[in-house]
Amino acid sequence: MAEKASSKVYQVTALILAVSVDLSLFYASGFAVFHRLLGGFALLWLSAALRWSAVTVISLLLLGDLKPLLVRFLTAYSLLPAVFETGTRVLYREQSQCGPGADVRCWMMFAGASLGAAVFWEITIPAGSNQQKQRSRVLFMRVVQLYKADYRLLLGGSVFLSLAVICKFQILQANDGTERPIHRLPFACFQAIQGAACRGGLLGCAINSCTCRIKGKLFEALTKQEIGFFETTKTGEIISRLSKDATLMGKTVGLNVNVLLRTFLKTMGMIFLMMSLSWKLTLLVLMETPITGLMRNIYDTHYQRLSQAMQDSMARATEAVNEVVFGIRLVRSFSTEKHEANRYNKRLLEIHTFKTQRDTVRAVYVLAWRVTGLCMDVFILYYGRIFIQKGQMTTGQLVSFIIYQSNLGRNIRTLTFVFGNMLNSVVAAGKVFEYMDRKPLVSTDGKLKPDQLQGKISYQNLSFAYPSNLSKIVLQDFNLELAPGQMTALVGPSGEGKSTCVSLLQRLYEPQKGEILLDGEPLKSYDHHFFHKKIAVVSQEPVLFSGSIRDNITYGLTDCSQERIEEAARKANAHDFIKTLEKGYDTEVGESGGQLSKSERQRIGIARALVREPKVVILDEITSSLDAESENKVLQGLASCPNQTLLVIAHRLKTIEKADQIVVIRGGQVEEKGTHQELMDLQGSYHKLRNELFDEVNSPQ
């Protein structure tokens, strides 16, 4: 306690000492300058340097470590009096009121101004933003690289841009009331319009072309991601990156850089013209820039936050619509129309709230921005009048200056706006590149493509949890062998890991421990296309894409003869029903195969798997949509390919009994395995399970 109190006393004493030393130095430097002890500016700046050293050393002694904001404050605070005095003497050839005879009001004014400047600096260029800047630069250069293919369009656009800017100046100069040739005005106008139109057209083409390229690349990268990625990333976010962020990113170079460059050139030209009329008024006008920059910065932060929140709500609203459209049968049969309408209204209200907040922020910003512009106009008129009275300017020059200034004001506002936009587009580019650069956790760069494949599968000490729920171990030390040419049936209670075994064999996920071998080689060492041609899967609900039956059967294959298609369809027991259709194999299946029955979709799914002549066939509960006869025919068809390894998840007793090996899975492990007879004799899990299934099948409804 006593220690704390003494430390407080020490700090207060040190602070008083620091302020006293600084005030003494402040007055001493004023006194020395006043009496010209060392002569003019040299002394002014020497005393400023001395003050800076003194306050820095004292602050270091007091605090031990100086934060960047404090360093900025101390620097501004020590140097400001010297800057102010030098400026007044050079510009007005007189001493400022805060010169040698300065009083404590000046001291406080400098302290306040320095604090304001340091805080402004901190907000606009925060300390530690170097890393961020470096990253933005790298991202920007990467976007520029993407524009490489459109360099001709960009080059043409830049030429027309320069032309338009030059002509605009000619127009302004011809109009500013000074003695410049007016007869060239119509030509300059024509050139400016032509330049602007051609520039817009060419750059627009470049933007569109680059945006398409970005979207294409992003989509390609997305399709390579593992399933876990899609399970852990929101659909709305993926769609937002593909649509909004990719579009924003495409505009980075083509639009923002173009506007930035054009406005920058115009601004520079305007400043030059204004300087030639009155450099003092020009400096006054330029003081608006940091203020509008700061306002824009604050506005951007809030606007982006609210826009993001609004987009998230929009994605949720779209999701709600999608769910209802896809599940309209369920909605109707549970009569939840009102409930769904309320749910959607709630989402709309959320969007509306964020939109209102965002618009309010925009309105406040526009108001502040207009008030700043108005204040600047008043200042210009006030000082302009003074300069006219002093004979430093003519009325004509002031009018010309005001014309330029209104142009400059517009340009400065455009510059801050485009700069903000550019930062946004670089942030968007960062998000897009994050997906483009993402390496899928399930790699697809294996090279192995053996001429002969037996189809022997071994699960070795496999442990696995789904990426969306890593805490729940689904398979643990799982070991299993599937022999070539044999049929293995996976059975077990629901939710014990049967489908997970299949997903891992398809390489939809990567196990956390252990691995699966195909003919003694890890699955990941096989070439991606080769592997998926050799392992075919038919799932419970096969997905069909819109197109013909033929397109769906040959999905992903480039050359596939009609005989091969028909043979696969026969094995899948699909050929007969396809032949009865008016257009046969050219019949359109509709969106997601909606024009076919569940069983027909299933059989086309089986034909699609078999046409690839795979070595390993996986049937994941196909019995749920096939009747016993169809399933029998499918299994017979599969039996006609004796070398195929068949893995079946089934609940139908007859299917299971036929298997060469039956594996009971419970708790993510193999509990029992053997033939039907062996397991029945064992009187264990399988026996019990079978009795349960038998009871289910025979129970009176």
Ligand X SMILES: Nc1ncnc2c1ncn2[C@@H]1O[C@H](COP(=O)(O)OP(=O)(O)OP(=O)(O)O)[C@@H](O)[C@H]1O
Q: Which residues bind ligand X (CB under 6 A)?
A: 231, 466, 468-469, 474, 492, 494-500
Shortest distance (Å) from residue 497 CB to ligand X: 4
C-alpha span between 485 and 114 (Å, rounded) = 84
C-alpha span between 562 and 570 (Å, rounded) = 12
Closer residue to ligand X, CB minimum distance, 80 or 474 = 474
Shortest distance (Å) from residue 658 CB to ligand X: 19
Shortest distance (Å) from residue 361 CB to ligand X: 40
Shortest distance (Å) from residue 445 CB to ligand X: 24
Contact status, residue 454 vs residue 644, Cβ threshold 8 Å = no
C-alpha span between 161 and 197 (Å, rounded) = 9
Closer residue to ligand X, CB minimum distance, 31 or 466 = 466
C-alpha span between 316 and 293 (Å, rounded) = 34
Closer residue to ligand X, CB minimum distance, 214 or 649 = 649
Total residues found in the chain within this entry: 701
* Contacts made by residues 635-640, CB under 8 angstroms, sequence distance 24+: 637/570, 637/571, 637/572, 637/573, 637/610, 638/571, 638/610, 640/571
Closer residue to ligand X, CB minimum distance, 82 or 626 = 626
Closer residue to ligand X, CB minimum distance, 464 or 531 = 464
Contact status, residue 271 vs residue 282, Cβ threshold 8 Å = yes
Shortest distance (Å) from residue 662 CB to ligand X: 15
Shortest distance (Å) from residue 65 CB to ligand X: 48
Closer residue to ligand X, CB minimum distance, 185 or 508 = 508
Closer residue to ligand X, CB minimum distance, 288 or 496 = 496
Shortest distance (Å) from residue 305 CB to ligand X: 32
Give first-to-last CA distance, the chain, whole Å.
Answer: 82
Shortest distance (Å) from residue 431 CB to ligand X: 25
C-alpha span between 300 and 362 (Å, rounded) = 9
Question: Would you give the distance in Å from CA 522 to the centre of its chain?
Answer: 35
Q: Is 582 helix (H, G, I), strand (E, B) or coil?
A: coil
Shortest distance (Å) from residue 620 CB to ligand X: 8
C-alpha span between 503 and 586 (Å, rounded) = 32
Closer residue to ligand X, CB minimum distance, 280 or 673 = 673
Shortest distance (Å) from residue 545 CB to ligand X: 22
H, E, C per residue of 178-225 = CCCCCCCHHHHHHHHHHHHHHHHHHHHHHHHHHHHHHHHHHHHHHHCC
Reported as half-sphere exposure (CB side, CA atoms, 13 A), residue 437 has a value of 8
Closer residue to ligand X, CB minimum distance, 492 or 605 = 492
Q: What DSSP letter does each residue of 50-90 carry, written as one string?
A: HHHHHHHHHHHHHHSS--HHHHHHHHHHHHHHHHHHHHHHH
Closer residue to ligand X, CB minimum distance, 466 or 577 = 466
Q: Is 699 helix (H, G, I), strand (E, B) or coil?
A: coil
